[in-house]
Amino acid sequence: MAGIEGKVVAITGASSGIGEATALLLADRGAAVVLGARRVDRLDALADGIRGRGGRAASLDVDVTRREDLERLVDLAVGQFGRLDVLVGNAGISKIGPLADLDVDGWSAMVDVNLRGVLHGIAAALPVFRRQGQGHFVTTVSTSGLKIVPNQAVYAATKNAVRTLLEGLRQESTDGVVRTTSISPGYVRTELADSIDDERVREQIRTGMAEFGIPPEAVARAVAFAIEQPHDVEIGDLTIRPTIQG
């Protein structure tokens, strides 16, 4: 199945930012979207808005650190729309700050959401993709893993772990059933900075987002580009950043 129309796409972290923009774009292009996030009020409002415009959408309270939540998200897609074509793993947090702060709880939280959450999605969706004979994992990574800078060591490590994970899955999936795409955004105007506990670093990131961040819709278009390719074409890696980002 080439293109987007008629595909069933599940999205984690769908209540705002890149996830929300991706849901709106894909629904407008004819996909059925199955939305997962923790902020249920915003998630339900998004799904209602999509349905109000004639689109197809379902929503579910999802915490990606719980494996059973990803299983329920996949089950909802298959149960309501008959299949699952794409899982967009977009949930993420950024507990960034100097390593010397020894924010062990923040480090653990990033590992749980940014890495373990992706693994939970793979565990839930891969059997469905294999049973169907095709499927696609699209995962939000980060340019933080491409250019290592102070204060982002653990965050970058979780993102690079995901990049490695998807490349390993790609090499194990050369039978043509499963596609993988890593999308690495740079500065994007989202609410990601809200999860940063260090006030100085949080304001620094917010300032960068406000001054030269690109809109989340730009990343959504990159997701759509990867999804709409014929199944024998795999867009393995996409980097999308502001033209003035260093």
Residues labelled catalytic: 155
Chain CA centroid to CA 174, Å:
23
Residue identified by tokens 């062990």 is: 104
Q: Residue 238: which H helix or E strand, with range?
A: strand 237-240
Chain CA centroid to CA 193, Å:
16
- Round to whole Å and give the CA distance between 196 and 28: 33
- Token duo for residue 227: 């999804």
Say if residues 10 and 84 touch (Cβ distance below 8 Å): yes
180, 245, 190, 246: which is closest to 218 by C-alpha? Answer: 190
- With helix as H, strand as E and coil as C, how does 22-69 read? HHHHHHHCCCEEEEEECCHHHHHHHHHHHHHCCCEEEEEECCCCCHHH
- Token duo for residue 34: 């199955």
Q: Which amino acid is at 157?
A: A
